[in-house]
Structure 1
Amino acid sequence: MLEEKMWLLIEEFEELSEFLGGYFHQDMEPLEEVWAEIVENANRKNTTLLLNDIDRFLNSNLSHIEKEEFIKENCDLYFPAINTTPLEWLIQMQIEFKKLLPSLKD
């Protein structure tokens, strides 16, 4: 993907980009600990904003390859090691956030 297009997508999907880079970076803990940290820091407002961004991203006109490149460019997960693709992983994160949302405080 062209660098210019990536920057435009980062701006368009700012919440998603910040989430990916903020939690899934090169110095991150094991995924279970990262999820525990996400849950600890989550609130209804920010989680709703993130879910909206994920929904817009997944429903965008970007190609499958562009979506996967965006995810890989914005986080430091090595997807073969966790036996999934970037899109499958993001969809699973979306499902987990939707489960979490009702228990969150404002």
Structure 2
Amino acid sequence: MDEPYDYLEELEDFLGGTFHQDISSPDKALDEFINEASIECLLSTIENCEKFLNSNLTKQEKEIIIQNNAEVYFSAIELNPLQWLNNLVVKMKEGVNIK
């Protein structure tokens, strides 16, 4: 994979490893990730998410990547995948400030 797209692999690992089929809810999974991750890990994850959100991929491509890597029922949480990922970034930034 080209170096500029390393963030994509990291993002996919984060989404798949955190939001898998065995979680009780996306919110609880994120809270657990924030509580267990180091500040460095959180900052790196935030950076990868922001690179992805600001990338030249189309909105549809971004949503497909998120949906393919996170076991989240977006209609149930009443957010589209991009809104959801933006919310994750905000919550992770809050988590960094608390730590």
TM superposition score normalised by structure 1: 0.81
Cα displacement (A) at 1:24: 0.7
Residue number in structure 2 paired with 1:65: 60
1:38 aligned to 2:9? Answer: no
User: Equivalents in 1 of 2:11, 2:80: separation in Å?
Assistant: 17
SS at match of 1:25: coil
Q: Which runs of 5+ in 2 are unaligned?
A: none
Indicate the RMSD between aligned Cα atoms, in angstroms.
2.0
Structure 1 unaligned blocks of 5 or more: 1-6
**Partner of residue 46, structure 2:** 51
Aligned length in residues: 98
Following superposition, the deviation at residue 87 of structure 1 comes to: 0.2
* Runs of 4 or more above 4 Å deviation: none
TM-score w.r.t. length of structure 2? 0.87
Contact 1:25 1:75 in 2 (8 A): yes
Calculate percent identity across the aligned residue pairs: 34
Question: Which residue pairs with 1:75 in the alignment?
Answer: 70
Shift of 1:14: 2.3
